[in-house]
Structure 1
Amino acid sequence: FQVKSENKKTIWNTEEVPEGSEFDDTWDPREKPEYEISFKQHVGTEDVFFGMTGKDPSTACCENIVIKIKLPETKYSDITLDIQDKVLDLRTPKKKLLLHLPYPVNSKEGRARFLSEEEILEVTLRVSRKFDFINFS
């Protein structure tokens, strides 16, 4: 079984290179900011009191990932944020964060807001798992 490459000079196929590795730069002198990952789920009365939907407090039943990144002495205009299915790439003049996410996310659907008083960037991403239709039906 041989896989044909699009370009004869390529060393690896695109399937062999992990997603996000193109952002990894070990020689970059910028420091890594502090961050916190939490999970969020939408819970209604049918979940809390009756247990009708089968949701539990595990991360397998959470719909969103919330990432809070501390960016002291940073302006909103200095932040560059790139989201892919499994990678969050954040860059500022003083900080750099390449974060491999615990679950695949919908890179087109998400939201980020900068809390300037607290100097925190809050990124909310929708989790995209293969069998979400079972957990959230």
Structure 2
Amino acid sequence: MEYLGVSSAQNLQALSALLSNQQQEDDDEDYENVSPYAKMGPGNIGPPLRKDKDVPPVYMKKNSKDVWSEEEVAEGPQYDDITDPRPQPEYEIILRQSVGTEDVFLGLSRKDPSSMCCEAMLVKIKLPDSKASDVTLDVKERFLDLRTPKYKLGLHLPHPVFHQESKAQFFSEREELEVTLLMNRPLDAINMQ
């Protein structure tokens, strides 16, 4: 006994054409009997689209020769050099917050020990066999660049900082550089100061 199922590609195409035409005719009949408000969809919300050619698109650059705008380029990639053989020094990032007795004993400022309440970031960088005069340091809003004859460090910071208010101190006895960065935190219920 031969199976009379849909087995060939030609039969499948014929069935598909039959079903799609019938479905389209049913949809057209239902759509004609509906009020104009029911025909509206999500694309009809808001002002109508303008088709003026004099309105520049949002993604258009100010200078036509620019490939990227400054906002699109992340800070720090210009310092990355894969051919530079200098190793990265050991470093540690410590988050700090200013806490007084009113915070600890009375809880008046609503600060807690979480990182959300921290105001500053301390970056400790170990630089063995280095002097303070050898260190070149550049701090941006989200990037710290450190260079010495023996080491290089390109560090993407976990939070934006006020780079103009950064402070650095080199400790010769420990051969360590400490960079204190004031964090640029948005004001919210926790970070009200």
Band of TM-score, shorter chain: over 0.9
More helix by share: 2
Which residue matches 2:134? Answer: 78
Q: Could you tell me the TM-score, scaled by structure 1's length?
A: 0.92
Change (3 A) 1:7 1:25: farther
- Structure 1 runs of 4+ with >6 Å offset: none
SS in 2 for 1:77: helix
Q: Quick check: 1:35 aligned with 2:91?
A: yes
Q: Could you tell me the TM-score, scaled by structure 2's length?
A: 0.67
Which residue matches 1:55? Answer: 111
SS in 1 for 2:164: strand
1:55 maps to amino acid: K
* Seq. identity, %: 55
Which residue matches 2:18? Answer: none
Cα distance in 2 between the residues matched to 1:72 and 1:133:
43
Cα distance in 1 between the residues matched to 2:70 and 2:191:
32
Which residue matches 2:24? Answer: none
Which residue matches 2:59? Answer: 3
The offset of 1:134, in angstroms, is 5.0
Greater RCO, 1 or 2 (C-alpha within 8 Å, sep 6+): 1
More strand by share: 1
Which residue matches 2:180? Answer: 124
Cα distance in 2 between the residues matched to 1:130 and 1:116:
36
2:74 corresponds to which of 18, 23, 32: 18
How many residue pairs get aligned? The number is 137
CA RMSD of aligned residues (A): 1.5
Which residue matches 2:165? Answer: 109
Structure 1 regions of 5+ residues with no counterpart?
none
SS in 1 for 2:61: coil
1:131 maps to amino acid: L
The offset of 1:16, in angstroms, is 1.4
Which residue matches 1:44? Answer: 100
Structure 2 regions of 5+ residues with no counterpart?
1-56
Which residue matches 1:91? Answer: 147
| Deviations, residues 68-115 of structure 1 (Å, cap 9, x unaligned) | 000000011110000000000000011000001111000000210000
Which one has a bigger Cα radius of gyration?
A: 2
